[in-house]
A and B are shown apart, each in its own frame.
Chain A
Amino acid sequence: MTTSLENLMRKTRKENRAALIAYLPAGFPSQKGSRKALEVLAHAGVDAIEIGFPYSDPVMDGPIIQAAAEISLKSGTGAKDVFDTLNFVHELGLACVVMTYWNPIEKYGPQKFASEIARRGGSGVITPDLTIEESLGWSAATDAAQINRIYVVAPSTTDERLKAVVERCSGFVYAASLMGVTGGRTSVSSQAKDLVERIRSISQLPVAVGLGVSSRIQAREIAGYADGVIVGSAFIKVLLEAQNEEVGLAQLRELAEELVAGVREGR
């Protein structure tokens, strides 16, 4: 069985372009606002969505995603909301994965979590703090549910380790563009391209680049060599800083359209 994500990556490869993958935490900017924002992203031409499971101790995230997670958690977002949001995106017709720190999965039960992702139309899960050494149970759970297992690799990852991690990935490999936490940067680090090339030399899997991507120029640059461009903090920042939700959604559409154009200009 192939997932929607795998079908998407196949399609964008055929179209000779990169996919634009947007990240938003469930329940942000509000429970209702989250659905509106996702509709805006879908209509603007975003290819796939990562739904973030907001977490109390997000050590990989910069101030913007921290703020969004805090807002979402204050409104009571839990596993059920994450799965409902996932299902909402699935019904919009987009490929959708969940991005979550490990503890919410551990608490929910890895098998149950994986099968719920599959049942609600999700393609897979990105686990930024699950190391392959701790992933035995998760591998079994995701295999049984037939969903994608996406790990994040970093510029500091050694060749030997890169091979071991990439071998356990499916759907795509998440390449962190730099050493650091999430949040927009003005330029893309040269480390990103090097890392993508290292992955290409050992695997046929699509590679998506994330961390620090916020502009059309950056999207275009990354789309020149990667299969996917992941944008999170930049979208969230627009929603956080807008004077009201309506303005925020209008600006979100504008930014999304820019980035959608950007990933089509890369090659």
Chain B
Amino acid sequence: MTPSIQPEILGHFGPYGGRFVPEALIGALDELEAAHISAIADPTFQAELRELQLTYTGRPSIITEAKRFAEFAGGARILLKREDLNHTGSHKINNVLGQALLTKRMGKKRIIAETGAGQHGVAAATAAALFGLECVVYMGEEDTRRQALNVARMKLLGAQVVAVKAGSRTLKDAINEAMRDWVTNVESTHYLLGTVAGPHPFPTMVRDFHKIIGEEARDQVLELTGRLPDAVLACIGGGSNAIGIFHAFIPDTEVKLIGLEAGGDGVETGRHAATLTGGTVGVLHGTRSYVLQDENGQTIESHSISAGLDYPGVGPEHAFLLDSGRAQYRAITDDEAMNAFATLCKTEGIIPAIESAHALAGAMIIGKEMGPNSILLVNLSGRGDKDVQTAADYFKIDLA
């Protein structure tokens, strides 16, 4: 079946999505939804965003065919969508520029953001600098340690970084703290959420700002190969880069959409972040979707070598795509991801983000399943500079 692309009113994707938030935030969510809807229809807004994409982000991002990497992927043609080449080094800039323009449109002067790996935090801090907005980024204390380089980048860009010491001290706790800030300062502040989760309108709005990835890639693959790819692959934490590249292909039912989740030590060990593969339906951070939770509905801490995928929830549209059968989701272990990370480095001269390495690991498995005549489009959502320390530790590279 082809699921409906627009959520119904109230921001539902089938039984998923919606709004589970304190009443205090309803006004701000309504305001944001109205701003988003009017901006989409406003040619001036679209022109301004387009100009930023062309002259600031560096869009369109190119496609690179990974011919040597393909030997490790069953000989399938592997086409990489190079979101890693965007300004700030990942797809996150797409959403951030859109929301920063909306912030301006709503007359707000302050943005707050959560970040896990720091990619969204860096992108948010970048947009804040560009637009002259005050910016506070909430980051789990554990992640500030894992991603110290990105903390420095955010500070250089003029943002205040708040290390969150509550709970598991990772992304989910950073979101909690950002929501508390928002409830308190909602008049002056826009919460620039970084993924396709959270209460309506975030899942729809963030998707709309990322769908350009798939729109470009669809044209590029057609031009390069004369046909549509057999499968589109992307890593999934909250799911923003995946929904971004999937979206244009949803009506092309012959194209398989495959999301690769963070399997950590393996889903069977319980130490993972594979929410769609190993979670159950619940409500977290204002939306109904799949969640890692215990029998009392308490969130279970996720585990992944990739800070950007280390989240126990996932965007509601992915839950809907899973149930409808339009997309499939598989888990990639830390070891599989790091193997793909090393393989891409050595065969193509590209250091991927560890997040994106999960999609590459998926390509190595699915390429073998689908064979040498198949074409796989892989979203290379971010670059790996921020992960050099983690990779050096993992591969025991002597830095002395």
Residues of A bordering B, CB below 8 Å: 55-63, 66, 70, 73, 78-79, 102-108, 128-131, 133-134, 151-158, 161, 165, 176, 179-181
Contact segment of B227-235, B280-288, B357-365: B280-288
9 A-B pairs with CB atoms under 8 Å apart are A57-B172, A57-B285, A59-B183, A60-B180, A103-B282, A103-B283, A106-B282, A131-B19, A155-B24
B297 contacts partner chain A, Cβ-Cβ < 8 Å = yes
Q: Which residues of A contact B286 (CB under 8 A)?
A: 129
A181 to B22 alpha-carbon distance, docked (Å):
10
Contact (Cβ within 8 A) A107 B24? no
Query: How long is the Cα–Cα vector from A62 to B27 in the complex, in angstroms?
Result: 21
Q: Which of A56, A57, A106, A152 contacts B23 (CB 8 A)?
A: A152
Contact A104 B296 (CB under 8 A): yes
Partner of B296, one of A107, A153, A157: A107
Check A73 against B282 for contact (C-beta < 8 Å): no
Across the interface, do B23 and A154 meet the contact criterion of CB distance under 8 Å? yes
Q: B27 to A129, Cβ gap below 8 A?
A: no
Chain B interface helix/strand/loop/mixed: mixed
Q: What's the Cα separation between A61 and B19 when bound, in Å?
A: 18
CB of B273 within 8 Å of the partner chain: no
Q: Is B293 an interface residue (CB 8 A)?
A: yes
Q: Does B20 sit within 8 A of A, measured CB to CB? A: yes
Interface size, chain B (Cβ < 8 Å): 36
Residue of B nearest to A132 (CB): B23
Q: Cβ of B101 < 8 Å from any Cβ of A?
A: no
Indicate if B186 sits at the interface (CB-CB under 8 A).
Answer: yes
Interface pair B283/A56, CB less than 8 Å apart: no
Interface string of B167-185 (1 = CB under 8 A from A): 1000011001001100111
- The residue among B173, B295, B297 with the most chain A CB atoms within 10 A of its own CB is B297
Asked if B10 and A133 make an inter-chain contact with CB atoms under 8 angstroms apart, the answer reads yes
A262 to B24, CA, bound (A): 28
State in angstroms the CA–CA spacing of A108 and B282 once bound together: 11
Judging by beta carbons under 8 Å apart, are B184 and A58 in contact?
A: no
Across the interface, which residues of A come within 8 angstroms of B21, CB to CB?
Answer: 129, 131
Q: Which of A107, A130, A156, A180 contacts B27 (CB 8 A)?
A: A156
A59-B296 in contact given A66-B166, A131-B19 (Cβ < 8 Å): no
A79 to B166, CA, bound (A): 23
Nearest first, the 7 closest Cβ-Cβ pairs linking A and B are A107-B297, A154-B24, A104-B297, A103-B297, A180-B184, A59-B179, A56-B298
**Do B24 and A59 have beta carbons less than 8 Å apart?**
no
Q: Is the CB of B299 within 8 A of A128?
A: no
B26 contacts A by Cβ under 8 Å: yes
Q: Which residues of B contact A165 (CB under 8 A)?
A: 23
Let me know if A131 and B23 touch, CB within 8 A: yes
A161–B185 alpha-carbon span in the complex (Å): 20
